[in-house]
Each structure stands twice: as structure tokens, then as C-alpha cells.
Structure 1
């Protein structure tokens, strides 16, 4: 007997709209500003180390990224980083918080096709104000049943969300670009995990795909999602 789907969760950044590209552009600017002190590959490694250390303090999102850049700049310059560089890093972070929202291909049509028949929930990490701004500017807000902005994405978090906005993880499906955050944890919780790759992947989100798991799927883009959902749902 087919278990009917009731709830579909969507990651936000790099699933609904562009995001990682802006982090890459800012990191390139960071490397340029500090090019007199260290090569770009060394700066990238040191920045990633700082981000790993700081996730527990600052969480995910632009603000934590900017603070990690500043921390790295202080470290690689032996505390001699010019105030002008710090000022430019802060300005770069402010620019990131003001970038216009650019929906990824097929997002609008896929969500509009699924909204009448399923509970759609945005499940995203990051800064509360920034994610709320993005959703408001996206024009998609009215199509979602709920928005959950969480500090981390674990199987327990998905279980609670899918219990709250449906009939549990077994009747839920999660869509996202990150195997580590959007696909594997909901599968562990008992749901479906649908991977939609989107260009560059943040190193901290890397994981191996669970190719042999019966509840894992991969799609090239969101145009295929409505048909997949209805096939899984037996409709």
C-alpha cells in the first residue's frame, strides 16, 4: 500500500534562489584585499577553518561569514590588518544582505503546481531577518503553508517539523541542493530526500549520496518535481 505524501519541504538558498554565487564573489573580494599577506588558496583554507569553528557561535548565514572573514584577516596579518580592509569586508557583507532575489529556473511553476494539493514548507538555515527578507522578495510566500528557520538540520529537527506540518516524516518529502543538510537527514527521519544540485557547493555541506536508499532521488532541476511527487504519491 502506498503511503500518501502530505508535506513537501523546500530548502531556500540555492534551491529556491541564488545564494552561493554571492558568497563566492565576496570570498574572491576577500582574497583580493588580503593578497599582500597570503595566497588565495591559503586564505580559503583558513577561512573555512574559521567558519567551522564559528558555526556554533554565529550560526549559518551572511553575518557569521563576515565575522569569520574578519577573524581570518586578523589572524593572517598577525593583527596588522588595515582598518580599511575591515571596513571593506563589512561593506561586502552589507552588499550581500541587499542583493536582489533571483529565483532559480522552474521554481515558480513547480511550487504553483504542488501548492493546491500538498502542505509546502520552507525549511532553511541562516539569519532570521535575511531569510524573511528573501522570502518576502521572492513573491513565493503566499504559496507556502509555513516557514521554519532552524539553527541546524538534523533528523530530529525534520521529524518535529513534519509532525507539526503534516502526518510525520514518512508522509513527507524534502527538496534541496545539499546532501548533508537537505537530503540525508530527512531520509534518516523516515521521509524522502530529493537532491537538486546547484552549481558550487559549500565545502561544509559535502556528503556522499545515499544512492542505494529507496527514498533517495536526484533531479536535474525543479521542473521534474511535480511529476516525481505525484508518481511517489500514486496519483
Structure 2
């Protein structure tokens, strides 16, 4: 696809599942959570109820591990009719702490890409999630040195991007967003007139899924790996 990037001066990177592994650990924790609740409901039912609880709680808790843990606890109480043992609640909390303390696993080619782009572009991180957790992951990752700015957003809607670009004095024609989510990293960016590159991760949270028509949006690049962006930007 022939898209002109010659005017791009600032590149925004999503963090979770774009720079480092994230969703995999949520799926592993969900598997363990279903095992803890197997005496009350089937795995499929547990998964469904947990997702519904997460959606109900998004406006209150926001994105991230802490809200996820609270949703697991609430789901466990609901599914067990408030009979879940204290020990199981403690196990759920332990699952969340394990996620938070998990080593940061950079995705293939991340540091190579950042090191080659940092001298030509202003690089920033634009991610959702818990502020403390995202700051911790960025510090552990060893790649914070490549970024001029880090912003943890409450959400990634058009208004969030518009307000941030205005605050950072970035013109939409000079901005490119790179991320794994069509819903959060691509569609709202295209809608405000900026450019976006989609680099899918092999696992996608149900909340980030889009319909088939949205998937057919053709005024952006879809690449197999992050390293592929160098074919278009490192010249």
C-alpha cells in the first residue's frame, strides 16, 4: 500500500502487545481463575461472567491489572453466591501480584526499531492502563531512553488523542501511531486525520475486537512484525 510518511515528525507507540507481551498473561490468569471457580461454574460461564464484570467496571476502575483483579474477586463472589472461601480470594489477589511482578518481555525487534528511528523522529509512548504499572513496565523494559514523552491515557478515543496532540503541540499531519489494536490505535487516529500502522498481536482482548467492516479500513498499513516499519520509515 502506497502511503506517504515524508511529513511524519512524531511517532506514537502503544505499549502492551506492541512493545512488550501483555495479553498472554491475562489469558493465563483467566485460565487459573476458571480453575479456582470450577466447583461453582463451567469454564465457559466463568469466562463470560468475568468479561461482563470487567465491562461493567471499566468506567470505575479503568484499564489494567488492578481493575482486573477486583473484577475477578467480584465475579468469584457472584458466581459462588458469596460462598467463596477467603483462601480463594487470597489466591486471586496473589494471581494479580504475580502479573504485576512478571518480568517485561520485549517483542521481537523492538529495540532495533527504536534505536534506528530515535534520531529521525520524536518518539512517544501512548498507552492505556494503570499509571504505576505502566511506568514500572517501561522502567523494567530498558527502552525508556528512546522516548521523549510517555502518556498513560484513561482511554484511546478520538477526543483523548486530539487533546493530547494539542497539548504536546503536535500537528495531526505530522503524527503516526503504531499499535496492535485496530479499535484503540488505528481507527480513532485515522478519524482525526493522522496516520496509523497496525501490527497485530496473536492474542486480542475481546473488548478490542472490531467488526469485519472496520477491519477492511484500507488507509493504513497492516504489518506482520514491528521490524517491518523500518521498510517505510528508516530511509
Give me the TM-score of the superposition, normalised by structure 1: 0.94
Counterpart pick for 2:40 among 37, 41, 52: 37
Alignment pair present for 1:180 and 2:178: no
For residues 38 and 206 of structure 1, do their structure 2 counterparts lie closer, same or farther at Cα, with a shift above 3 Å needed?
A: same
Paired residues in the alignment total 230
Task: Single out whichever of 158-167 and 102-111 deviates more from structure 2.
Answer: 158-167
Q: In structure 1, what is the equivalent of residue 127 of structure 2?
A: 124
Q: Does 1:218 align with 2:222?
A: yes
Q: Does 1:66 align with 2:56?
A: no
The 1-side partners of 2:183 and 2:67 are apart by: 19
Native 8 Å contact 2:5 2:233 kept in 1: no
Structure 2 residues without counterparts, runs of 5 or longer: none
- The change in CA–CA distance for 1:108 and 1:2 in structure 2 (over 3 A counts) is closer
Alignment partners' CA distance in 2, 1:143 and 1:2: 20
Q: RMSD of the TM alignment (CA)?
A: 1.5
**Superimposed CA distance per residue, residues 129-188 of structure 1 (whole angstroms, 9 cap, x where no aligned partner):** 100000001111110010000100011211232334453222111111111111111111
Q: What pairs with 1:1-235 in structure 2 (closer than 5 Å)? A: 4-165=7-168, 167-208=170-211, 209-214=214-219, 216-230=220-234
What CA distance in whole angstroms lies between the structure 2 residues aligned with 1:109 and 1:166? Answer: 28
| TM-score of the two chains, using structure 2 as the length reference | 0.94
Q: Partners in 1 of 2:189 and 2:81 — Cα distance? A: 43
Distance, in Å, in 2 between the alignment partners of 1:184 and 1:23 is 24
Secondary structure in structure 1 of the residue aligned to 2:101: coil
